[in-house]
Amino acid sequence: MTAKKPTAPRKPRAKPSGSALGADPLDRIAVSDPSPRPKTELAEGINTVTNTASTAKNWDEMGTHDALNVLSNPIMIADPDMIIRFVNEAGYKMFEAIENDIRQDLPSFVPRKVVGRNIDDFHKNPAHQRRIMENIVEPHDGEFTVGGKRLAFKATPILDQSGKTYSIFVEWQDRTSAHQENKEITLLIDEIGKMATAHAGGTISHFVPAESFNDRLRVVAEGTNTMVRQHIETKKKILACVSEFARGNFDAPIENFSGERFFINDTIEDIRSAFRKVTAEIERFCVALDAGDLSIDLDRDGFDGDYRRIVDAMETALSGLNRTVSSASQQVAQVAITVEQISQSSQSLAANSQIASSSVDEVSSSTEQTSAQVRSNASSADNATRLVGNTVNVANDGNQKISEMVTAMEGIRASSQDIAKIIKVIDEIAFQTNLLALNAAVEAARAGQHGRGFAVVAQEVRNLAGRSAKAARETSELIEDASGRVQSGVRIAGEARESFNRIAADIEEVQTLVSGISVASEDQARGVTQINAAIGEVAKAALSTSQQADELASSTAEMQSVTEIMRRDFERFKLRPMASQQAGTTLDMKNMSPEMMAQLRAMFAAEMSSGAPKAKALSNGHANGKARGSVDQDERGFANF
């Protein structure tokens, strides 16, 4: 047996409180715990280790003691020097099951040969583990990974009567499966969180990848996905039904949901009932309107919210229709009375047509007296027309000459532009000549005895001089051409002057003829005076006759027919009780309001425009049936006279 290292006295440890490994019989073994314990085989084995003075002998006997071997938990016992003194059968079996995995990190590991070896041989960092074990006074829980396996242990110190550590009981547990499951659970929680985030952001097609998990966690993932899909499908069914409602299909079916989801069916049916109720009210309203029943009462109190607003709007429209139809019906009755008055007026106006007829006879006699003057005016007009024709020809000839003169002037203008261009070239040549002369002087100064460069410059100067001469010649030619064109313009201007002289002579003749026409017009004016006097009489009677007798007679008949139709149309409406109208408010032409008069005038204007051909036909003859020839047209609209 290895000698112990001196250690300081330690206080008896307190009663342990269990560990993550679960209920452990070793937790109930504590020297400082005086409470009586049942005498079990395990307790006897521990007491043997604690109370026997011969340490080596007890370690030897420990291996043959059945009290610890019958335990299902893997147990290992080490002495204070960290020498493994005992491993129960459950411990051997656990280590043998993971022997190959442990050898990945500890190649020398053999489960059945660990007894007698220092526990430091099985740690990558022995110093760390030894510090923990040397200072242990209470149960210590630990967990580490070796060879890919996750092992958990619970180290419980056994103290002697002096409070020193006599041995350390270590309970082992292979937590590999639990550790892996915890990782998968964490991953599952993360995936569920991702799914929740995606759905919150609108991506409802995101689900937990169940194929990434094994066994029961896959079942959990699939169950979660199924639950979410069912909720989504439920919402889609609800939205599909509501969408049908939006398209007007209030009979759209929806699945009967079970359990606590039955409230969905109740809600959908409430919506369906509300839609049907408001549409039924609208339908009742429209059917009543079509039947002319404006006296119906709408069930406004049976609706709330926006539905109430719809029914209120219908009620407002219905009330407005009642007022409008009632008012229009009264107006139609008043219009009927007015039309009757107009009919009577048209009969009175018919008598005035006799006066108009006699006036037209007077106009006819005056027209015969002015006939001779009209013929004289016509003859003079023929002569004037002939002379004016000659004048037009002369004017055309003058215009042609003027055009030629304009063309000549344009030629002069073009020549002037060419001259300007040539002069510009001459200016450029002069400028270049100056530069070349300057260069020649510079070259001559530099060359000294060698005048080759000067010769080149001199040649350029000669060339520029030639161009200047050519430009000068062209300028001279253009100037001569311009002079010729100017002479042509002068000649043409003279011819134009002669043409205009002839025009002036013809105009004098026209003036003479016009004087004759003027004399004839004076005679005609006297006849026109008589015509105007007769027209004055005709105007008074014709205004009354044409607008009131003929047109009003036909318009009155049509208006009577229209008002009768309107009266029958209004009678089909069943109205709500309205406030009684003031008695005795009959309508006549004298007490009509300006607005009513304006409406009647507009109605008459429309009727007259539609009946204008008839009125025109009537105005082409006299009341006595004698046709008259058309002599003149009155500009004031009294037709032919």
- Domain of 81, CATH number, reads 3.30.450.20
Look-up of token digits 């109190």: 301
Q: Determine, yes or no, domain membership for 33.
A: yes
Residue 44 placed within a domain: yes
d(CA 476, CA 423): 11
**Joined tokens for residue 553:** 């007679």
Using the predicted structure, report yes or no on whether residue 278 has a pLDDT greater than 90: no
* Tens of pLDDT, residues 178-230: 888 788 888 889 988 999 999 999 898 899 998 888 888 889 989 999 999 98
pLDDT of residue 547: 65
- The whole domain housing 133 covers 25-174
Ranked by mean pLDDT, the top range of 66-70, 305-309, 475-479 is: 305-309
DSSP bridge partners of 144:
151
- Give the chain's mean pLDDT: 71
pLDDT band at 62 (very low <50, low <70, confident <90, very high): low
> 3-class SS at 355?
helix
Q: Is the pLDDT of residue 586 over 80?
A: no
In the chain, the percentage of residues whose pLDDT exceeds 90 is 6
Cα(622)–Cα(614) distance, integer angstroms:
15
Residue 86 lies in a domain: yes
Contact 457, 440 (CB under 8 A): yes
- Residues 364-402 as b/e (b if ≥16 CB within 10 A, e otherwise) read bebbeebeebeebbeebeebbeebeeebeebeebbeebb
- Interval 329-349: pLDDT, tens: 778 777 777 777 776 776 666
Asked whether 185 and 215 are in contact (CB, 8 A), the reply is: no
Mean pLDDT of 116-130: 77
How far is C-alpha 71 from the chain's CA centre?
A: 78
Predicted structure pTM score: 0.40
Any domain includes 71: yes
3-class SS letters over 89-118? HHHHHHHHHCHHHHHCCCCCCCHHHCCCCE
Distance CA 95, CA 318 (A): 94
Q: What is the mean pLDDT of residues 598-606?
A: 66
Tens of pLDDT, residues 357-373: 666 666 666 666 676 66
Q: How far apart (Å, rounded) are the C-alpha atoms in residues 341 and 619?
A: 24
Residue type, 407: T
In a domain? residue 627:
no
The secondary structure of 191-251 as a DSSP string is HHHHHHHHHHTT-TT----GGGS-HHHHHHHHHHHHHHHHHHHHHHHHHHHHHHHHTT-TT
Q: What is the pLDDT of residue 369?
A: 66
- pLDDT of the residue at 548: 63
CA neighbor of 77 nearest in space, from 116, 21, 111: 116
Rounded distance, CA 502 to CA 299, Å? 98
User: Which pLDDT score is estimated for 371?
Assistant: 61
- In this structure, is residue 126 part of a structural domain? yes
Q: Is the separation of the CB atoms in 404 and 410 below 8 Å?
A: no
For residues 548 and 347, what is the distance between their CA atoms, to the nearest angstrom?
9
**For residue 128, what are its two tokens?**
């760390």
Task: Find the mean pLDDT for residues 377-403.
Answer: 69
Q: Rounded distance, CA 562 to CA 570, Å?
A: 12
Asked whether residue 205 is assigned to any structural domain, the reply reads no
Mean pLDDT of all residues in 472-495: 71
Residue 481 domain flag: no
Q: Which of 155-169, 230-244, 465-479, 622-636 has the lowest mean pLDDT?
A: 622-636
Domain count, the chain: 1
pLDDT digits (tens, 9 = 90+) for 167-182: 888 999 888 888 887 8
